[in-house]
């Protein structure tokens, strides 16, 4: 986890008591950050315009900064010398690819058409969200849920490669080709360059991944593995939470006025998103348990399946359809729903650890025993 120690974590103790003081109230901090961001965006005229201008290649620098601060401590904790144990897990790798790049987009496409048949702009925006597989914030959800850090690093890297290659193709398939095949009406063209997607991947995953890898290698060389993990990592750990909260404040400040000025539309968009997150997370968690994965890798598989790259989805929607479009609003509502839902699922995941066999749970240390958490 991100903070200090907590009192006892026996099998019968509550999940709350297993968490540090900082982590125990994480849901409160996140909801407060969302409220602060929405309030700032609503009350300060022109704030969203100022923040939106601080960007490079369509990527918001404040959001990028927050995500980098958030991801760096977690990626510095990854034991990179153990990545081969993940890549050798064929069940995990195959399941992740199938869920993220076949099932996930198809589920979002179906929900968007079923629940928003009369709102084509919002529907298109949600489909774009479904195509943007998570490569950033899922790192911290996984870490909070005591998932497998090495597996998370590999799976988000795998998603990054496929995102560059497949995002444009899947956008054409689900927005242009498939609606025509099914007789649902005229499709919409998605205008996004492979370079823009690659830039998104480099900024949100490449930079913190390289920084985390170099920190681990140089830190272990200078301090030794034991001192690096027991003394250095606990010092940088809290910055993951600070980066998360900063990102949330900036994200919602950017779109606060848009969200609060259209509450009924937000509710319509939120419904398919809620169903999507529930179907993807619970379905994938059940799959992981069914195919015999240990708790830590099951949690990692579930969170990487349920999360989405909201920054890419918003950037694509704005670039293609405009900042005031319904497609852009759908992208903005994405994290409004995703953030509280996935933090709730962190607690669900921790509570379900005891449903696994003692051997499966034992492969993942408890939050209190992992000093660097």
pLDDT of 335-344, one tens digit each? 888 888 998 9
Tell me, what's the pLDDT at 189?
66
Find the range with the poorest average confidence among 17-26, 43-52, 135-144: 17-26
Task: Give the CATH number of domain 57-235+262-362; options: 1.20.1530.20, 1.10.10.10, 3.40.50.2000, 3.40.50.300.
Answer: 1.20.1530.20
Tell me, what's the pLDDT at 279?
96
Task: Kindly give the interhelix angle for 326-352 and 26-43, rounded to the nearest 10 degrees.
Answer: 170
pLDDT tens-place string over residues 288-324: 999 999 999 999 999 999 988 887 787 788 777 776 6
Tell me, what's the pLDDT at 369?
36
pLDDT tens-place string over residues 160-194: 888 888 888 888 899 888 888 888 876 666 666 66
pLDDT tens-place string over residues 229-274: 889 988 888 888 888 888 888 877 876 777 777 788 889 999 999 9
Count of residues making up the chain: 373
Q: Can you tell me whether residue 133 is helix, strand or coil?
A: strand
Give residue 197's pLDDT band: very low, low, confident or very high (50, 70, 90).
Answer: confident
Tell me, what's the pLDDT at 38?
84
CA dihedral of residues 59, 61, 65, 70 (deg, nearest 10): -30
Tell me, what's the pLDDT at 194?
67
- pLDDT above 80 (res 76): yes
Tell me, what's the pLDDT at 266?
87
Segments making up each domain of the chain, as ranges: 57-235+262-362
Tell me, what's the pLDDT at 3?
39
Taking alpha carbons only, the member of 335, 314, 324, 319 closest to residue 189 is 319
- pLDDT above 90 (res 88): no
Give the distance from CA 31 to its chain's centroid: 16
Give residue 68's pLDDT band: very low, low, confident or very high (50, 70, 90).
Answer: confident
CA dihedral of residues 6, 7, 11, 12 (deg, nearest 10): -120
pTM of the predicted structure, to 2 decimals = 0.78
Greater confidence, 292 or 13?
A: 292
Task: Kindly give the interhelix angle for 149-172 and 61-77, rounded to the nearest 10 degrees.
Answer: 140
Tell me, what's the pLDDT at 190?
66
CA gap 158, 309 in Å, rounded = 14
Best mean pLDDT range from 196-200, 204-208, 285-289: 285-289
pLDDT tens-place string over residues 109-168: 999 999 998 888 999 999 999 998 887 778 888 988 999 999 998 998 888 888 888 888
Contact (Cβ atoms closer than 8 angstroms) between residue 293 and residue 118 = no
Tell me, what's the pLDDT at 297?
94
Question: Contacts by 13-18 with C-beta closer than 8 Å and gap 24+?
Answer: 15/347, 15/350, 15/351, 18/350, 18/366, 18/367, 18/368
Tell me, what's the pLDDT at 11?
40
CA gap 358, 373 in Å, rounded = 21
- pLDDT above 60 (res 86): yes
Taking alpha carbons only, the member of 248, 348, 250, 256 closest to residue 302 is 348
pLDDT tens-place string over residues 344-368: 999 899 888 877 755 555 444 433 3
Find the range with the poorest average confidence among 64-68, 105-109, 271-275, 279-283: 64-68
Give residue 371's pLDDT band: very low, low, confident or very high (50, 70, 90).
Answer: very low
């Amino acid at each position: 986890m991100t903070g200090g120690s907590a009192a006892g974590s026996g099998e019968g103790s509550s999940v709350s008591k297993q968490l540090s003081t900082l982590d125990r109230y994480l849901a409160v901090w996140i909801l407060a950050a969302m409220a602060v961001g929405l309030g700032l965006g609503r009350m300060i005229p022109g704030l969203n315009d100022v923040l939106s201008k601080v960007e490079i290649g369509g990527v918001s620098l404040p959001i990028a900064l927050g995500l980098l601060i958030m991801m760096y401590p977690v990626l510095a904790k990854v034991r990179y010398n153990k990545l081969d144990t993940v890549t050798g897990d064929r069940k995990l790798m195959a399941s992740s690819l199938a869920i993220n790049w076949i099932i996930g987009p198809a589920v979002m496409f179906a929900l968007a058409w079923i629940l928003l048949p009369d709102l084509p702009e919002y529907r298109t925006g949600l489909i774009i969200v479904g195509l943007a597989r998570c490569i950033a914030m899922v790192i911290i959800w996984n870490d909070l849920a005591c998932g497998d850090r090495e597996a998370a690093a590999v799976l988000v890297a795998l998603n990054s490669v496929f995102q560059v290659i497949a995002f444009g193709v899947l956008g054409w398939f689900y927005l242009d080709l498939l609606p025509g095949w099914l007789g649902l009406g005229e499709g919409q063209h998605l205008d996004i360059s492979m370079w823009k997607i690659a830039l998104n991947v480099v900024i949100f995953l490449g930079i913190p991944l390289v920084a985390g890898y170099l920190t681990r290698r140089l830190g272990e060389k200078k301090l030794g593995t034991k001192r690096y993990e027991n003394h250095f990592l606990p010092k940088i750990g809290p910055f993951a939470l600070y980066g998360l909260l900063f990102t949330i404040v900036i994200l919602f400040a950017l779109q606060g006025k848009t969200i609060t000025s259209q509450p009924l539309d937000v509710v319509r968009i939120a419904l398919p998103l809620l169903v999507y997150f529930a179907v993807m997370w619970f379905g994938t968690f059940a799959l992981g348990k069914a195919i015999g994965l240990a708790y830590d890798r099951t949690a990692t598989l579930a969170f990487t399946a349920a999360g989405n790259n909201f920054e890419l989805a918003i950037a694509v929607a704005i670039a293609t359809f405009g900042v005031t479009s319904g497609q852009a609003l759908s992208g903005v509502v994405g994290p409004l729903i995703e953030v509280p839902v996935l933090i709730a699922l962190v607690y669900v995941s921790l509570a379900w650890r005891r449903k696994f066999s003692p051997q499966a749970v034992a492969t993942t240390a408890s939050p209190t025993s992992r000093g660097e958490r």
